[in-house]
């Protein structure tokens, strides 16, 4: 998956989670934004010219990035950085599971390589769909949590559907 698709998936998962759990604290929002910002870090393996999806696309990499961000963002609370780093890698891994190239997401604990083979990493439709869904989840969160606009739109939609 391309950076746009990963960012969209991170927006979709983080802001949908915040919405469903009705989490509105600034620490939760910062954690969500840090997750989105860090979601492409696993693809550093491409820049480093090491085997793609081996060392940076797995649960161990998620734990390591979580610990690194926990140290960096310690003043906010160590858990903010840890959750953001761990979630960023795991969301990235989830996105790459949809693609054709198999890899071992539980490495080094379990070395079996897997792939759902739904689409190629560069499939523009898949990447754009995740991006659009993520942006919708992001704006929906703020419309419903911080304004009355979301609820007003919901009522207008119910009335429009009811009149058909």
pLDDT of 59 reads 98
Number of structural domains the chain divides into? 1
Whose structure tokens read 């793609």? 52
Dist CA 44 CA 137 (whole Å): 27
Candidates 20, 153, 141, 12; CA nearest to 87 is 12
Q: Which phi and psi (to 5°) does residue 114 adopt?
A: -135, 160
Tell me what pLDDT residue 153 has. 76
Q: Which residue range is the domain that position 39 belongs to? A: 3-162
pTM for the model? 0.89
**Three-point CA angle 135, 150, 17, nearest 5°:** 50
- Tell me how long the chain is: 164
Integer-rounded Cα Rg, in Å, for the chain is 18
| pLDDT recorded at residue 154 | 75
d(CA 95, CA 100): 11
What does the pLDDT look like over 87-99, one tens digit per residue?
Answer: 999 999 999 999 9
54 confidence band (pLDDT: 50, 70, 90): very high
């Amino acid at each position: 998956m391309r950076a746009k698709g990963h960012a969209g998936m991170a927006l979709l998962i983080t802001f949908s989670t915040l919405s469903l759990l009705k989490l509105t604290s600034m620490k939760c929002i910062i954690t969500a934004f840090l997750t989105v910002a860090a979601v492409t870090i696993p693809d550093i393996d491409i820049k480093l010219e090491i085997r793609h999806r081996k060392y940076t696309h797995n649960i161990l990499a998620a734990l390591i990035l979580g610990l690194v961000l926990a140290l960096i963002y310690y003043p906010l609370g160590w858990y903010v950085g840890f959750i953001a780093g761990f979630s960023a890698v795991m969301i990235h891994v989830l996105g790459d599971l949809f693609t054709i190239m198999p890899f071992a997401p539980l490495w080094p604990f379990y070395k079996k390589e897997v792939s759902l083979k739904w689409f190629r990493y560069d499939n523009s439709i898949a990447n754009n769909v995740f991006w659009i869904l993520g942006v919708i989840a992001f704006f929906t969160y703020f419309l419903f949590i911080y304004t009355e606009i979301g609820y007003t739109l919901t009522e207008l939609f119910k009335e429009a559907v009811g009149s058909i």
